[in-house]
Amino acid sequence: MATSREHDFLSSAALRIMESASKSRLFGYTEGQRKLFDFSCDLKRDWSKVVAGQTLWQHGGDGIDKDLRTFLNEEDIHAAVYIARHESRHRARFTEVTQSYLRGPLRNRLSRLRVFWVPADFNAGDDKSREAIYASLREEITKDLLLQVALGGLTPQDVTRFAASKRPGLPIAILSYVKKQGYRNHRTASKDLNVSLDALRYEVERLFIIGFLGSESLQGGIYHVSDSGNAMLDITSRLHDYLESNLGEGNKNDEFEHICGLLGIDYPSIPITTRLLGKEAEVDIQDPTSLLLQHVAQAHADGSVSWPEPYFELPSASEISASK
């Protein structure tokens, strides 16, 4: 089927945005097989999550039913990106179709949908129009898709709560410890981490309550690192790179800085020469970024953390399917 310039630009832009964001070194990216979709890719950490997408531009609202049915019937995708021309008939039809699925057996799969509406007057032949739409999609896809799928649904409020711990370095040390060897009881972990039992118990329970640790029991107990906890470990590891002048060329990483900005982490505002530890520490206790960097600096000084390197060497879901 012939496609328009707008359709092709939007489909390509979605992939370029996700590929570019992977340069943050918080997740990996591999373009996937299109199969029934306009575009597809795998996002990787120590897992592989397939993102598939459709672009609605030329065909009318009747195509929405087919597109959503394809999304919801495909078992292997974790997120379904729908980029659609913003017209009243499209929005009305989209609402009508999704409402019908709410009453059916596939209703739980509606949560995988991520819809991005593009102004109907978008003209892919105009340079300024392309730049504006790309910038808008970059902001929306990063915030509404990548933070949810690749970074465990992490929010600025989560970052603030994490940084608010009054025990510098300990939250990162606990997450690193649990990820590396699991967590059976407070007493063993207290000894292994060389921290008082009361301090450890309080911090573990705090991390559980705010969602960075998970447990099969509502009361806690045998803990594991949650998706948001793993994302925070990766973010603090890249912040550790920043403090060690190893973030990238010139100690800069624009993609990482953009994602951090969406999470309220303005690390470039704090020079690496800032004193973060000791009695003369230059730490603004009202600033989550300053507190977060203090956690990173203290964990580094304590030698209590195995800072995770980017680890994106898993085969893609499409490669696994092909091998079968």
pLDDT value at 282 more than 80? yes
Average pLDDT over residues 46-73: 83
Cross-strand pairs, 118: 85
Model pLDDT for residues 160-216, shown as the tens digit of each residue: 999 999 999 999 999 999 999 888 888 999 999 999 999 999 999 999 999 999 987
Instruction: Look at residue 114 and give its three-state secondary structure.
Output: strand
Q: What's the pLDDT score for residue 62?
A: 67
Please report the pLDDT score of residue 201 as a whole number.
Answer: 93
Give the E-state strand segments of 143-245 in sequence order: 213-215, 223-225
The confidence score (pLDDT) of residue 227 equals 92
Give the residue carrying structure tokens 């990162």: 172
Q: What is the pLDDT averaged over residues 248-263? A: 94
pLDDT at residue 204, as a whole number: 94
First to last CA, the chain: 30
Would the pLDDT of 106 be above 90?
no
Q: State mean pLDDT over 282-286.
A: 90
Percentage of the residues of the chain whose pLDDT score is greater than 70: 92
Place of tokens 């896809």: 141
pTM: 0.86
DSSP annotation of 183: B
Q: Residue 255: pLDDT above 70?
A: yes
What's the rounded mean pLDDT across residues 120-139?
95
Do the Cβ atoms of 224 and 182 come closer than 8 Å? yes
User: Quick check: 116 pLDDT over 90?
Assistant: yes
- The pLDDT confidence band at residue 314, using thresholds 50, 70 and 90, is very low
Query: In this structure, which long-range contacts are made by residues 156-162, counting pairs with CB atoms below 8 Å and at least 24 apart in sequence?
Result: 156/262, 156/263, 156/264, 158/210, 158/211, 158/212, 158/228, 158/232, 159/232, 159/263, 159/264, 159/265, 159/288, 159/292, 160/264, 160/288, 161/210, 162/207, 162/210, 162/212, 162/232, 162/292
Spatial strand order of the sheet with 79-86 comes to 28-31, 39-44, 48-56, 79-86, 113-119
